[in-house]
Amino acid sequence: MRGSRSSCGPARRASEKARRIALQDLDRSATIKRVKSVPVSPPAPQKPATIKDVAARAGVATATVSRYLNGSRVREARRIDEAIEALAFRPNQLARSLKSGSTRTIGVLVPDISNPFFADVVKGVESVMRAGEYSLLLCNTDENVDRERAVVNILLQKQVDGILMAPAAEWSDAPLMLRARRVPVVLIDRRIEAEEFDVVLVDNVNGAAQAAEYLVSLGHTRIAMISGPLDTTPGRERYEGFGEGLRARGLELDERYLQVADFREDGGYQAALRLLAVRPAPTALFVSNNLMSIGALRAMHNLGIRIPHEMSFVGFDDLALAELTHPPLTVVSRASTEQGVLAMRLLKFRMENTGEAAPRKIVLETRLTVRGSCAAPAQEPASAGAASPSGGVSARQGTGPAYPAGAPTPAADGQSGL
């Protein structure tokens, strides 16, 4: 018995030792697993640089950085720029707006965003805004007063600092809405009848008068006009100016040769077709804006009417392609980009000077740019229409393009083309 117990002791001790080792390994494994399951926290995000950080790095006062960011000139501009770049500083626009009460946002309302004239105006506006770090919200009112009101309400909700606009009509009340809310507003190219506002215009009357007198000086008496809407400033003033120019040369605008359209390309096209169906046919045509000019030229091209052999042509507003057409177009030109520059400068003045002051009216000059689309009228029989003793144009039958409206004819050398 003693021998049996002695033989089992070592075996039992070995077994217990193995079990302890196994338990230790098991416990170590569980500990490792528990350690691996503990999530690793991501590194704390780097705190964005503040205006104080920029000031400290540039070695200037915080107020100096603030003035620089608000568009003022400071001597330390280069050091501030270097600090901004090194710290990847981005101004908190929302915080700046809450503190200053300014969103540094400008609303710009135009009646037709597809019109190249308004593109030039906005280019001028943007050149001034860029220096002051303003943002621009460009809105199209589609020549519609109701749409204009809706857009103004949207911009008011966005708390814009000021608005530049070309009203859809002279009876528009949108500028009055803005004045009631004490939002600075400057009108571009158009004004309204109700009250006086800051406005930047061009001399439409003189420009249209120059066109009329030039055509009469070439010997034309049957002179047609495609006018814009007469409830807009450019439409009304160009109509009045053209009539004044004819009367200065002893003629009157024959109502048969007048079409009022909508400042759109298709409007110019349809108006030209109606005028070209009148008998005796006109020998000269004045179109009072650029898009209608494109439409009128397309109508004459489709009818095979040659410019200037059968029709002299003058447009209002220069086109980028006016010198590249065949023949190059004679136009009444103006500084459209400068209109935008002056309007934005005036608005900036109003936003920075809230005291009452009389509205300012700026009128830029217009000039006739003579190219190759006008000539003396073709010789006609003695019975052709001519200036009547009273200064009007008689209705006697004369020769002219005999193409029915909408009936294209073969193209000829020298005809209008875009």
Give the span between the Cα atoms of 179 and 44, in whole angstroms.
49
Which CATH superfamily groups domain 204-335?
Response regulator (3.40.50.2300)
Q: Which residues contact 246 (CB under 8 A, 6 or more apart)?
A: 212, 213, 216, 223, 252, 253
Q: For position 414, what pLDDT does the model report?
A: 41
Q: Which residue has the tokens 């000019």?
A: 293
Backbone phi and psi for residue 144, each to the nearest 5 degrees, phi listed first = -125, 120
Greatest pairwise CA separation for the chain in angstroms:
159
Residue type, 414: G
Whether 395 contacts 274, CB under 8 Å: no
Nearest to 286 by CA among 305, 270, 272: 272
Q: In whole angstroms, what separates CA 10 from the centre of its chain? A: 100
d(CA 362, CA 163): 17
Structure tokens at 194: 């109700």
Of 220, 221, 216, 218, the closest CA to residue 388 belongs to 221
Instruction: Give, as one character, the DSSP assignment of residue 418.
Output: -
If phi > 0 it is left, if psi is from -120 to 50 it is alpha, else beta; for residue 304 that is left
Q: Where are the domains of the chain?
A: 49-91, 204-335
- The answer to whether 332 touches 378, Cβ cutoff 8 Å, is no
Q: Say whether 204-335 and 49-91 share the same fold.
A: no
Written as tens digits, the pLDDT of the chain (418 aa) is 444 444 456 666 666 766 676 666 656 655 545 545 555 555 555 678 888 899 999 999 999 988 888 767 888 889 998 998 888 887 765 455 545 557 889 999 999 999 999 999 999 999 998 877 789 999 999 999 999 999 999 999 999 999 999 999 999 999 999 999 999 999 999 999 989 999 999 999 999 999 999 999 999 999 999 999 999 999 999 999 999 999 999 999 999 999 999 999 999 999 999 999 999 999 999 999 999 999 999 999 999 999 999 999 999 998 777 777 889 999 999 999 999 999 999 999 999 887 778 999 999 999 999 999 999 998 754 433 333 333 333 222 233 333 333 333 323 334 444 4
Q: Which of 286, 273, 279 is nearest to 246 (CA)?
A: 286
Asked whether the beta carbons of 166 and 187 are under 8 A apart, the reply is yes
Whole-number Å distance between alpha carbons of 331 and 63: 52
Q: What is the pLDDT of residue 405?
A: 35
Question: In which residue are the tokens 């209705």 written?
Answer: 395
> Would residue 198 be called left, alpha or beta, if left means φ above 0 and alpha means ψ between -120 and 50 degrees?
beta
Specify the pLDDT at position 101. Answer: 55
What CATH number does the domain located at 49-91 have?
Answer: 1.10.260.40
Q: How far is residue 30 CA from its own chain's centroid?
A: 70
**Cβ atoms of 396 and 385 closer than 8 Å:** yes
- List all residues 6 or more positions away from 64 whose beta carbon is below 8 Å from its beta carbon: 55, 74, 76, 80
The two three-digit tokens of residue 29, written as one number: 């494994």
Nearest to 102 by CA among 125, 78, 69: 69
Q: Give the pair of three-digit tokens for residue 252.
A: 């009157």
How far apart CA 83 and CA 261 sit, in angstroms, is 57
Look at strands 198-202 and 258-260 and give their pairing.
Answer: unpaired
* Beta strands 367-369; 330-333: pairing state: antiparallel
DSSP per-residue codes, 230-259: TTSHHHHHHHHHHHHHHHHTT----GGGEE
| Pairing relationship of beta strands 105-110 and 367-369 according to DSSP bridges | unpaired
Residue indicated by tokens 């308004």: 118
Answer yes or no: are the C-beta atoms of 96 and 67 closer than 8 Å.
Answer: no
Instruction: State whether the Cα torsion 13-19-20-22 is positive or negative.
Output: positive
Between β-strands 367-369 and 198-202, what pairing exists: parallel, antiparallel or unpaired?
unpaired
- Comparing CA positions, the residue from 366, 232, 338 lying closest to residue 292 is 232
